[in-house]
Amino acid sequence: MFRDGISRDLINCAKDASSKSAEDKRALLMEASQAIEWGAKLVALSGLIVEEGALAGKLASFAYGIEFRYDDETAEIMHEAAAAIRTLRLLLGLQRESY
């Protein structure tokens, strides 16, 4: 579900988005989108509704048009994805990511 290091990779990519290829950024955003979607669905099974689920679609949409996005927009959405993943990990009782 959440691979160890995905939040770290999102933060590192956000720091230097201009040096990453569009394909690398797209792949990372799609991975984050899928992880957030799955995490939100698992949390929903416990009866909680989380806002992070809506972010999954936003990330996928952003990823498909990554070539037309500014680096600061990309960094912002990557930070948002990393925060959502951290929140979902907490809600699911998963171990904190190792950095």
Domain assignment of residue 1, yes or no: no
Domain assignment of residue 99, yes or no: no
- Max Cα separation, the chain? 41
Predicted model pTM? 0.89
Q: List the domain range (segments joined by +) for residue 70.
A: 6-92
Domain assignment of residue 36, yes or no: yes
> What's the pLDDT tens digit per position in 22-76?
999 999 999 999 999 999 999 888 888 787 778 999 999 999 999 999 999 999 9
> What's the pLDDT tens digit per position in 24-37?
999 999 999 999 99
Query: CB under 8 Å to 78, separation ≥6 — which residues?
Result: 10, 11, 13, 14, 17, 28, 29, 32
CA 20 to CA 71: how far, in whole Å? 10
| Cα 2 off chain centre by | 10
Q: What are phi and psi of 37, to 5 degrees?
A: -60, -50
State the total domains in the chain.
1
What is the predicted pLDDT for the residue at 84? Answer: 94
Domain assignment of residue 49, yes or no: yes
